[in-house]
Amino acid sequence: MSRVYLFKPFERFWHWSQAALIITMLVTGFEVHGTYSLLGFAKAVNTHTIAAWTLVGLWIFAIFWHFATGEWRHYIPTTDKIVAIANYYSSGIFKGEAHPFKPSSVNKHNPLQRLTYLAVLTLLSPLIWVTGGLYLFYASWGALGLDWLKLERVAAGHTLGAFLMLAFLISHLYLATTGHKIHSQVMAMITGWEDLGHEAK
């Protein structure tokens, strides 16, 4: 059985902490939005805000770690094998075909993963953080010269970001089950080692 060590301890800590904080913000955010009542409005707002600031701190440290260790290179976009991988996820996976990409310690993410993570980092995350920050400091808009903004549009942008993040989370959970075994990729993010199966080279 072929195995490869992919994720260092900090990467695993960062992944699961980030997941917990994002899920916390989704649950409390939708309550603040009025979707349901779970914690109560005031407690949901407070929990949402604390989780958001905690995630900001985690991201700052993670960015430093990625650049200090050189791990940022795993997120550089590439088009190598991107068509083959798109074909695999759209049809090949349902026919039992082998995955055209094998992760390694120097190439952890396939091209579609790289593009997706880049989009999350450069498009989705800024949408959420900017609208969330504006929402949080709404009382200071006048002093900051932001009176021209519409609260309804900022709120709508933040809600859109939340739904897009939820869609990413659902697809991420599904794709995490498409490894050699249904739990292979999840175990990789727990132990650091991913089982690639007998066919891996």
* DSSP-assigned letters across all residues of 40-83: -HHHHHHHHHHHHHHHHHHHHHHHHHHHHHTGGGGGS---TTHH
Alpha-carbon gap, residue 89 to 112, rounded angstroms: 10
What's CA 180's distance to the chain center, in Å? 22
pLDDT of residue 55: 95
- Residue 97 CA from chain centroid, whole number: 27
Please give the Cα distance from 152 to 163 (Å, whole number). Answer: 16
Model pLDDT for residues 44-66, shown as the tens digit of each residue? 999 999 999 999 999 999 999 99
Tell me, what's the pLDDT at 1?
Answer: 57
Given CA atoms 115, 131, 33, 44 in this order, what sign does their dihedral have?
A: positive
Contact status, residue 194 vs residue 4, Cβ threshold 8 Å: yes
Domains of the chain: 2-197 (1.20.950)
**Which residue in this structure is represented by tokens 């759209």?**
90
User: Between vectors from CA 85 to CA 90 and to CA 164, what angle results, nearest 5°?
Assistant: 65
How far apart are alpha carbons 113 and 18 in whole angstroms?
17
CA-to-CA separations, 72 to 34, 80, 118, 124, in angstroms, rounded: 38, 18, 11, 19
Task: Collect the ranges in the chain with pLDDT lower than 50.
Answer: 200-201
With CA atoms as reference, report the closest residue to 199 among 109, 98, 110. Answer: 98
With contact defined as beta carbons under 8 Å apart, do 187 and 195 qualify? yes
